[in-house]
A and B are shown apart, each in its own frame.
Chain A
Amino acid sequence: MYFQSMTEFWAMGGYGLFVWLSFGITYALLAVLTAYSHYQHKQFKRQLSARLAREQRVKQYQEQVK
C-alpha cells in the first residue's frame, strides 16, 4: 500500500472530500441502476402472471355459465 496509515488513506492528501464524493456517487448510481433494473424485471413478470391468471379465471367462469 502506498499510504502510511488508514488515516492518511482516508485523508487523500487533503482531497478526501472530492475523491470519496466521486467514488461514493459512482457506486451509488451503479447500484441504483442495477437494483432498479432487477426490480423492473421482477415487477413485470409478476404483473404478467397476475394478468394470465385473471384471464384463466374469466375463461373458467364463462364455461361454468354456459
Chain B
Amino acid sequence: MFKWLHPYAKPETVYRLCGRFYPWLMLSGVALLALGNIWGLAFTPPDYQQGDSYRIIHIHVPSAIMSMGTYSAMAIAAFIALVWQVKVAQWSVTAIAPIGAVYTAIALITGMAWGKPMWGTWWVWDARLTSELILLFLYLGVIALSGAFSDRQTGAKAASLLAVIGVINLPVIHFSVEWWNTLHQGASITKFAKPSIDPSMLWPLLISILAFKVLMLALVCLRLRTAILQNEQHRPWVKALVEE
C-alpha cells in the first residue's frame, strides 16, 4: 500500500491534485451550508423549551464537531511528519491550524450568543467551555510556534510536537459534559445510542456538519498549495509554474 501511496506525497503531485479538487470542494461546501442552514432556519419547527433560539445549533454543533475533527486531522499529519518525515505532512500542519482556529472561534462565539438568552450569561468557566477555549489556544500555539523560528524546518517540527501532545485535550472536551457538572447540555448526536433529537431537526444539522467538513477540506487544499509553493520555491517545477 505504501508503494502505491508514496508518489501521492510528492509535493508537485499534491499541488496539482489540490488545485483540481479545490473549486469542486468549495462549491459543494457552500451549497451544502446554504441548504443545511436555510432548512434549519426556516423549515424546521421551534424547540419546545428553547423556542427559536435553538436554531443556533445549526452552526454551533457543526463548528464544534469540526473544530475537533480538524484538530485530529492536524495531529495525524503532525504524527506522520514527526515519524516518517513526510514533507507535505509537515507543511499541512501549518496549513490546517488557522482553519481549526477559525472553527473553534465560531463554536465559542455562537455558544456565547446561545448561552446569553438560555443560561443568562455569555460565559461561565465550566468544563466544556474552558476545554474548548484551551483548544483555541492550542491552535494559536501551533500557528505561533511554526512561525517562531528563523529556520522553517525547526518551527514546523516544534509545531508538530505541540499538535501531537495537544490531542489529550480532545477526549477531555468530548467527555467534559459527563465527567463534571456543567451548564452545557449532554451530547445529542455523537453517542452510541439513538440521537436524542427529532429527525426533522437532525437532517439539516447533519447536512451542515457535512458542509463544515467539506469546507475544511477545500480550505486545506487552498492553504496547502500556498505552503507547498513557499517551501519548494527554489525547485525548477515552481519556477516553471510561475513563469508560464
Contact = CB atoms under 8 A, between A and B. Distances in A.
A6 to B, nearest CB: 10
A1 B39 CA distance: 9
Q: At the interface, is chain B mostly helix, strand, loop or mixed?
A: helix
B46 A13 contact: yes
Given A15-B53, A33-B99, A48 B242 contact: yes
A65 interface: no
B53 A18 contact: yes
Question: Which one of A14, A19, A44, A48 has the greatest number of beta carbons of chain B within 10 Å?
Answer: A19
Size bracket, chain B contacts: 35 or more
A44 B229 CA distance: 8
Nearest to B221: A37
A37 B106 contact: no
A19 B54 CA distance: 8
Q: Which of A2, A30, A40, A49 has the most CB of B within 10 A?
A: A30
Interface centre among A3, A18, A44, A45 (most CB of B within 10 A): A18
Contact of B230 (A12, A37, A38, A44): A44
A26 interface: yes
B98 interface: yes
B166 to A, nearest CB: 21
A55 to B, nearest CB: 10
B151 interface: no
Interface string B49-79: 0011101100110010000000000000000
B169 to A, nearest CB: 22
Contacts of B98: 33
Interface stretch (B109-117, B141-149, B184-192): B109-117
Given A2-B43, A18-B56, A48-B242, 4 more contacts: A2-B44, A2-B45, A13-B51, A37-B226
10 contacts: A1-B42, A2-B46, A12-B53, A19-B41, A19-B52, A22-B109, A23-B37, A30-B106, A38-B222, A52-B243
